[in-house]
A and B are shown apart, each in its own frame.
Chain A
Amino acid sequence: MSTSYLIKGATTAAGEGGVDVLIRDGRIAERGRSLSAADAAVVDAAGLVLLPGMVDIHTHLREPGREDAETVETGTRAAALGGYTAVHAMANSMPVADTAGVVEQVHALGRRSGWVDVRPVGAVTVGLAGGRLAEIGAMAQSRAGVRVFSDDGICVSDPVLMRRALEYVKAFDGVVAQHAQEPRLTEGAQMNEGAVSAVLGLAGWPAVAEESIIARDVLLAQHVGSRLHVCHVSTAGSVEIIRWAKQRGVNVTAEVTPHHLLLTDELVRSWNPVYKVNPPLRTDDDVTALRQALADGTIDVVGTDHAPHPSEHKECEWAQAAMGMTGLETALSVVQHTMIDTGLMNWSRFAEATSVLPARIGRVQTQGRPLEAGEMANLTLVDPAARWTVDPHKMATKGRNSPFAGLELPGAVVATFFAGHPTVLEGRLNAPHPDAQKD
């Protein structure tokens, strides 16, 4: 089996055409024009965009504990198909990833699967309970080498605990990724609070519940000189606060999900729980502000918040339904549709927002690297001219809860190279990395 691949005639994220890239032994051996290598399998990349392998800062792989919803194997297959070469697996598994043992387990499952780099996220507090700090240091020093800590799904609402977490992670250059949701203001909340919730009689989730926590956290991060990451920003007001904080030099990064770039709370009128998500879908004005913020860098990165659920958790009343949407296999297309095809950003900024910066936030050394000889070959080849219709039943994820089902979207992943190995070829799953089984 060939371990050398020659990508011919690609266009780079920066827009340079006719670029050839030779991949050998996991790395980029050469970048140039009209390259040839007799032993290499040729990948025709005419008309395709060659991007650094995408890195998701926010994925729920559900294993251990909810293997009915997703496993590391199925989730990382979905990731590879979506163009990802690394994912950050959120800590809200069962048991919670709040010890070195659990993060090492998730890390090992990722290595055994071999589809992408699985970077476990550690819980900030024991059991996500918000009571006391989890063994953050032990997780950082474990074989999983955790750098991102989050109670995602639940807000670290206690200001003192949040302050301590922000301070503590400085010891190993970690970051706290906050799920910004003031708990008292969102008790029983079912959807964005506004004109639609008023009509539907669903308990509202006010924007201020997100914004007040972000405001507090950026001030805390400034006070203690720490690194803060804000998960899934969903309101125009949050964007303003983050913009203000960045202008003041606060070390804060922020993420937006593809669904918040496209969908609004008007969809809740269908009562279809596939649109139930945390944070909730907001309004048109919020979508506009989020797109602008992603384009101008106020929001640094795209994170999928891929959240697969078994169908019985969505085939029920709205109030009973689980919150969350799948996203790994649609992220690229939704971002192309909302940001690139609208002229708001180019592929260069796309590469930054989906690879370079998320890798930097997570301190993933081998990901999000420049397209240069010697770098690890984590690459994604995209056909921006393709169009396809989303069908959740054809996805690799176990979750069928895609809010984009039936939508025609642009852009398709043609190939994904993970550490020099094509996990995806011709738009289909190829094979996991051959080193995977050796572990």
Chain B
Amino acid sequence: MKHLLSTDGLTAADAIRILDTAEEMAVVGEREVKKLPALRGRTVVNLFFEDSTRTRISFEAAAKRLSADVINFAAKGSSVSKGESLKDTAQTLEAMSADAVVIRHWASGAPARLAASDWIDAAVINAGDGTHEHPTQALLDAFTLRRHWSRIAGRTSLGEDLSGLRIAIVGDVLHSRVARSNLWLLTTLGAEVTLVAPPTLLPVGIESWPCKVSFDLDEVLATHPSAIMMLRVQGERMNAAFFPSTREYARTWGFDDERLAALEASPAKDTIIMHPGPMNRGLEISSAAADSSRSTVLDQVRNGVSVRMAVLYLLLSGDDSAQPTPAQEARV
């Protein structure tokens, strides 16, 4: 694996390897000195064509914990024409000997374009591209799910996949890179996925996706899924007639207090509520749901750093599966 561009096509073996490595990285995050020398002397560039404080600082923390040098490049608002700037910026970073480029871009496919071009030789990590994919988000979600359900089952999560889990992903699937990346990854890892959304926020062509589709959130909740993943919905979608009003959206598709109460009253004790953030409290998720003990929102943020450390480590230390993990190295 030279780049991480999408979870579509990522094998279960590769995904589990990333998750297992992330478990080892998580141990580092619990130590007093949260630092490994693994990427000393390597340069990681955070190339952000779109605002994203959370993802950027997560990648920055991940790279720094691996002792890499980090350069933050906010290309948004650059006066260079957008088309030229990707090529020119890439060549500039190449000239500066970047080893990895973490790219967030408003245009779907920009990371893949960068990776396929001869503009730059660095490893490319997709930190979210348009409405296409956000693979590290899906990996951290899978990591969070795996940890939670392994703990319930009393097993170690190492080496495990997600067989037997049933995940509901709820909201604006059409515009969500998080939904796409999660669908591919979670199903590759053996989970069953149901997408729940108003028909206007599901893409034409979804029939060929490996999932169930429902327009009825309550019906899906009644099946007691292992996790409910709420997607951020932008209120402005209302203006493009994707739904009539934010109130109607919240009532019909939001995880509100009534739905939380119904879940609490059900036998689904261990069902978790996930959200990639940032949340619209009161729209797709109520404050009570976001703050409930079932919510994994902050676990997801914490796990994000471990997963991104794993991705950076695996990409920059070569794709040799015989390569020792940092923990194994530490034992030598």
Q: Which residues of A contact B (CB under 8 A)?
A: 190, 193-204, 206, 270-272, 312-313, 315-321
Residues from chain B with a CB closer than 8 A to the CB of A316 are 82-84, 86-87, 113
Nearest A residue (CB) for B176: A201
Q: In the docked arrangement, what's the CA distance between A167 and B248, Å?
A: 48
Task: Kindly identify which residue among A203, A315, A317 contacts B109, using a CB–CB cutoff of 8 Å.
Answer: A317
CB distance from B150 to the nearest CB of A (A): 30
> Beyond A200-B132, A201-B133, A201-B177, is A317–B110 a contact (Cβ under 8 Å)?
yes
Contact assessment for B116 and A321 in the assembled complex, using a CB-CB cutoff below 8 Å: no
Residues from chain B with a CB closer than 8 A to the CB of A201 are 108, 129-133, 177, 180
Contact assessment for A320 and B112 in the assembled complex, using a CB-CB cutoff below 8 Å: no
CB distance from A366 to the nearest CB of B (A): 42
Task: Kindly identify which residue among A193, A313, A318, A320 contacts B205, using a CB–CB cutoff of 8 Å.
Answer: A193
Residues from chain B with a CB closer than 8 A to the CB of A196 are 205
B107 within 8 A of A: yes
Nearest B residue (CB) for A192: B205
Chain B CB within 10 Å — which of A194, A203, A270, A316 has the most? A316
> For residues 105 through 163 of chain B, which have their beta carbon under 8 Å from a beta carbon of chain A?
105-110, 112-113, 116-117, 129-133
B203 within 8 A of A: yes
Contact assessment for B105 and A197 in the assembled complex, using a CB-CB cutoff below 8 Å: no
Contact assessment for A319 and B86 in the assembled complex, using a CB-CB cutoff below 8 Å: no
CB distance from B205 to the nearest CB of A (A): 3
What are 14 A-B pairs at a CB distance below 8 A?
A197-B203, A198-B203, A200-B109, A201-B108, A201-B132, A204-B204, A271-B116, A312-B87, A317-B86, A317-B109, A318-B113, A319-B106, A320-B82, A320-B83
Q: In the docked arrangement, what's the CA distance between A196 and B206, Å?
A: 10
Contact assessment for A315 and B83 in the assembled complex, using a CB-CB cutoff below 8 Å: yes
Q: In the docked arrangement, what's the CA distance between A200 and B117, Å?
A: 18
Residues from chain B with a CB closer than 8 A to the CB of A198 are 203-206, 208-209
Contact assessment for B108 and A315 in the assembled complex, using a CB-CB cutoff below 8 Å: no
Q: In the docked arrangement, what's the CA distance between A248 and B180, Å?
A: 46
Q: In the docked arrangement, what's the CA distance between A321 and B116, Å?
A: 16
B236 within 8 A of A: no
Q: In the docked arrangement, what's the CA distance between A272 and B116, Å?
A: 9
Task: Kindly identify which residue among A190, A206, A313 contacts B83, using a CB–CB cutoff of 8 Å.
Answer: A313
B8 within 8 A of A: yes
Nearest B residue (CB) for A187: B240
Residues from chain B with a CB closer than 8 A to the CB of A272 are 113, 116
Nearest B residue (CB) for A318: B109
Residues from chain A with a CB closer than 8 A to the CB of B204 are 193-194, 197-198, 204, 206
Nearest B residue (CB) for A271: B109
| 12 further A-B pairs in the complex, CB-CB below 8 A; given A198-B205, A312-B87 | A194-B204, A195-B205, A198-B204, A201-B177, A202-B132, A204-B205, A315-B117, A316-B87, A318-B108, A318-B109, A319-B109, A320-B107
Q: In the docked arrangement, what's the CA distance between A317 and B47, Å?
A: 15
Contact assessment for B109 and A312 in the assembled complex, using a CB-CB cutoff below 8 Å: no
> Beyond A198-B205, A206-B204, is A317–B116 a contact (Cβ under 8 Å)?
no
Residues from chain A with a CB closer than 8 A to the CB of B131 are 201-203
Q: In the docked arrangement, what's the CA distance between A194 and B110, Å?
A: 20
Residues from chain A with a CB closer than 8 A to the CB of B129 are 201
Q: In the docked arrangement, what's the CA distance between A271 and B87, Å?
A: 15
CB distance from A12 to the nearest CB of B (A): 46
Residues from chain B with a CB closer than 8 A to the CB of A317 are 82-83, 86, 105, 107, 109-110, 113
Nearest A residue (CB) for B111: A271
Residues from chain A with a CB closer than 8 A to the CB of B106 are 319
Contact assessment for B108 and A200 in the assembled complex, using a CB-CB cutoff below 8 Å: yes
Contact assessment for B180 and A194 in the assembled complex, using a CB-CB cutoff below 8 Å: no
Task: Kindly identify which residue among A190, A194, A271, A313 contacts B113, using a CB–CB cutoff of 8 Å.
Answer: A271
Residues from chain B with a CB closer than 8 A to the CB of A197 are 203-205
Nearest A residue (CB) for B119: A315
Nearest B residue (CB) for A197: B205
CB distance from B108 to the nearest CB of A (A): 5
Residues from chain A with a CB closer than 8 A to the CB of B108 are 190, 200-202, 318-319
Task: Kindly identify which residue among A204, A315, A318 contacts B203, using a CB–CB cutoff of 8 Å.
Answer: A204
Residues from chain B with a CB closer than 8 A to the CB of A315 are 83, 87, 117
Task: Kindly identify which residue among B84, B107, B133 contacts A319, using a CB–CB cutoff of 8 Å.
Answer: B107
Residues from chain B with a CB closer than 8 A to the CB of A318 are 107-110, 113
Contact assessment for B84 and A312 in the assembled complex, using a CB-CB cutoff below 8 Å: yes
Nearest A residue (CB) for B209: A198
Q: In the docked arrangement, what's the CA distance between A322 and B9, Å?
A: 29
Q: Give 6 nearest A-B pairs by CB, closest first.
A: A316-B83, A198-B205, A201-B131, A201-B132, A198-B203, A271-B109
User: Residues 54-85 of chain B: 1 if any A CB is under 8 Å from the residue's CB, otherwise 0?
Assistant: 00000000000000000000000000001110
> Beyond A198-B205, A198-B206, is A319–B8 a contact (Cβ under 8 Å)?
no
Q: In the docked arrangement, what's the CA distance between A37 and B203, Å?
A: 68
Q: In the docked arrangement, what's the CA distance between A195 and B204, Å?
A: 7
Residues from chain B with a CB closer than 8 A to the CB of A203 are 131
